[in-house]
Each structure stands twice: as structure tokens, then as C-alpha cells.
Structure 1
Amino acid sequence: MVVRIQVVTWAERRKFRLKLERYFRIRYDIYVRRRQWRALARPINIEMDAFDTEHAVYLLALDSLGKIVGGSRLVPTLQPHLLGNVFPELAPAGPPRAPDIFEWTRFFISPALHRSGRSSPIAGILLCGVLEVARKLGIRQISVVCESFWPKRLRAFGWSITELGEVLQHEDGDVIALLIDVTPEAIANTRRVYGIREPILAEAATTA
């Protein structure tokens, strides 16, 4: 399956209106219906939160037919974001905030593409995509609130991460806050682990 990462900003929301609507509907299916995050439930089958603003940058993983098979989101930490406004206790020294630090949230793979007991190739493409988009945007580090198993997994990919605090027992699962260095080495290692040799970003694929 050929998959590329399409980056969508606020300025491009009209051009990608249908794709974004589908993206939010998939988020609803995953986080509300499947994971039972009831706090996110809405009268319509679209999952949007307080951080889906004009500052958000969306990463849509699209197959060769333009179907969304995964997605993620980056939000500048100088704006309201999950760690700073909802889980500040996960970073006792204070949530990191800087123009070149963004928060990474809403990472998902289409449920139909999940592989029991092993990571989906789509996950590798999205992980590379997050880092490559971050470097393209001049982002030095990304913070994330994630499940407690992620630090071990990301370190296995060669990512340089800092745990900002202890694991928090939460009703939706144990979570921890991380600060991740965006480096060429992390991109190269993740590509190697997943055997990725082709361009990840959609615009790079068209010019390669």
C-alpha cells in the first residue's frame, strides 16, 4: 500500500474540507465509540476538541485512492494545548513552551489496518511523518501526553525523549508526558525500523 502524509493547515481548510470532515469522523469512531472517551461525545458523530483551532496542523495519511488510513495533529505550545491546559500535573517543572516546541496529539491508525501483536506499517509512516513535518516547520521539540508504554517503544526507534514527570493513573488509561527531540537521526532510525525508502510527505512525492 502506497501511503503519503498530507499536511493541512488552517489556510488550506477549504481545499481539504471533505478530507478534514472525514478525519474528524474517524476520530469520533476511534475515541468515542471504540475507546469510550465519553467526555468527547457530541450530538453529531464528529470529534473535535478545544485545540482544533486555526493554530492546529493536521497530518493525514492517505492511500493511493485518497482514503484516510491514519492521522495526527500538531499544536504550538504557545497556544492552549493538552499538556499545558488539561494535564499540567504531568510536568511538575512546568509544561515546556516555546515557538519551536509543538504538542503532538490524536495519533491514530484506521482500525481496519491494525495488526494483532505487531505495529502497522502505517504507524511507521505516521511516526516518520510527524518528525519530518516538524523539521520542515522548524520545530525543535515536540511534547506529548501518551499512554505509559510509549517511552519504551519510542526509545527502541532511536528517539531521544525526556519524561517530564511520573505516570498518572487516568480513567482512560495510564498516561505520561514526554518531550521529544526532533532530529535527523530519529527520522533515519524510524525509516530503517519500518523499511521506509520512499518519500513520506505528499508534496515531496510529487517532486521526487
Structure 2
Amino acid sequence: MIRLHVIDPARRGTYADALAQHHALRRTAFEESRCRALRAVDAAGRDRFDTEATLYLLAIDGDGRVAGGTRLLPADRPTLLSEIFPHLAEVRGIDRGPGAWECTRFFASSRYREERPLSRAAGIVAAGLIEHCLEHGIPRLTVVVETYWIPQMAEFGWRPRPLGLPVAYAGASLCAVTVATTEEALAETRAAYGIVASVLARPRTPTPPPDRDRAGRGLAA
């Protein structure tokens, strides 16, 4: 069974192998991207936003293989939106305060892509992401996406809210949005992917609660 593991800096040693897999898989997933900013990684598959503050959410199967993942960047530090695409938020601006998070590098491993419109591995990452945000009082996430994803997000109940006008970039139309991490979004995402219960892996040993200054007030961007 694939579960979504939330890896904070304190738990990276425990997940060293999974993180190495993740970076290699993510590099492959984005190496053909038309966006140079998404292709700019080092030999290990890391980019400039893989820092000590990054939170990783990895879908891992029962054999320890990474099926997909994403990451959350604290918005009071440099992010993809603030450093590469600030012009995408010219209308509503970027919230850089404590408690704001940006979601980037969402991917599913090709090994787990299925012959159907929606990959279950991607669904586990998406549903687990919403679950994590609900558990930690994070009401919104900021995301830079290709514009064609916005209707799909709306169908999932994510309530995408553009921060500015779409911009053509390297042959693609990009837009920065906030998405609402609500119970409705969780229910609609689960329904779309045929998920009936929580997908979050629970740590066997207690970990410190999240910094309430960062996670408790949630996102607004």
C-alpha cells in the first residue's frame, strides 16, 4: 500500500534513501520541461529551493519505493514564485509572512502511472497534501501551474484563485494561484481518485508539533 510520508528536517536521516530516490525521480520528471527554472538541478537532482527549511511529502510503497511527491516551501524564504515568477502575482501580490507556504515540484513516478486519466499515485500525493494542511491549520497553498490545470483544480474543490494574469513562458501559459485546502477539497480529491480513507503515514515515534507561528496561522497568498 502506498502512503504519503511527511518529512520535516528532523526526519531526513530516517528517510535518506527515499529522499535520494525522490530527487532522482523528480529530475527525470522535469528534465524535459519547457521551463528552464524547473530543469535547473544539480547532479543529485536538487534545485536552489531544496533547503533546510523545505518540507517533503513523499508517496512510498510497501517496498520502500517512491511513487510520487511534492514539497512545501515556507514563503518567508525564497520560493519559485518570489524568485523566478513574481510577475505572476502582480494583481494580488505574494504573502511572505510566517505561516504562508508554497507547493512546488508535484510529480508521480512513471512506474506508477496507469492507463487511465488520473494516476492513483498522484491522487495519494494530492489527497495527502490536503490532509496535512487540514491537520496543521493551513487553509491555502500558493502554486505556480500551467493554466490548463485550473479547471481540474476547480473540479477537485480546490477553489483556485489567480494572483495575476496568465503569462506565456517558453511555449506554456503559466499562472500563480492559491488553492483552498478544505474538507470539500479533500472529499472531492478522494472521490476523483477512488480513495476512501486517510493516506498519511503516521510516524512510529512522536515528533515535535509544528511551529505554530509558521503552520498555525495558515497561508494567505
Q: TM-score, normalised by structure 1?
A: 0.89
What's 2:72 paired with?
74
> How far apart in 2 are the matches of 1:134 and 1:15?
22
Task: Name the structure, 1 or 2, with higher relative contact order (CA <8 Å, separation 6+).
Answer: 2
Q: What do the CA deviations read for 1:157-183 (whole angstroms, capped 9, x no partner)?
A: 122220111111111622110011211
Count the aligned residue pairs: 203
In 2, are the aligned partners of 1:100 and 1:141 still within 8 Å (CA)? no
Instruction: Please tell me whether residue 174 in structure 1 is matched to residue 169 in structure 2.
Output: no
Aligned AA for 2:77?
Q
- 1:48–1:139: structure 2 CA closer, same or farther, 3 Å change rule? same
What's 2:191 paired with?
192
1:96 shift after superposition: 2.4
Aligned AA for 1:63?
D
> How far apart in 1 are the matches of 2:194 and 2:97?
33
Aligned AA for 1:56?
T
1:137 shift after superposition: 2.7
- 1:75–1:38: structure 2 CA closer, same or farther, 3 Å change rule? closer
> How far apart in 2 are the matches of 1:189 and 1:156?
8
The percentage of counterpart residues that share the same residue type is: 35
Secondary structure of the equivalent of 1:203?
coil
> How far apart in 2 are the matches of 1:119 and 1:77?
29
In 1, are the aligned partners of 2:35 and 2:169 still within 8 Å (CA)? no
Trace 1:29-178 onto structure 2 (pairs within 5 A). 29-32=28-31, 34-35=32-33, 40-41=39-40, 44=43, 46-92=44-90, 93-115=92-114, 118-171=117-170, 173-178=172-177
> How far apart in 1 are the matches of 2:152 and 2:36?
27
In 2, are the aligned partners of 1:141 and 1:182 still within 8 Å (CA)? yes
In 2, are the aligned partners of 1:55 and 1:75 still within 8 Å (CA)? yes
> How far apart in 1 are the matches of 2:59 and 2:158?
21
1:99 shift after superposition: 2.4
Q: What do the CA deviations read for 1:81-137 (whole angstroms, capped 9, x no partner)?
A: 111111000000321233232100010001132245611111211111111112223
Q: Structure 1 stretches of 5 or more lacking a match?
A: none
Secondary structure of the equivalent of 2:122?
helix
Secondary structure of the equivalent of 2:197?
coil
Secondary structure of the equivalent of 2:169?
coil
- 1:84–1:118: structure 2 CA closer, same or farther, 3 Å change rule? same
In 1, are the aligned partners of 2:40 and 2:47 still within 8 Å (CA)? no
Secondary structure of the equivalent of 1:80?
coil
> How far apart in 1 are the matches of 2:18 and 2:35?
23
> How far apart in 1 are the matches of 2:29 and 2:133?
25
Aligned AA for 1:48?
R
Q: Structure 2 stretches of 5 or more lacking a match?
A: 205-221
What's 2:218 paired with?
none
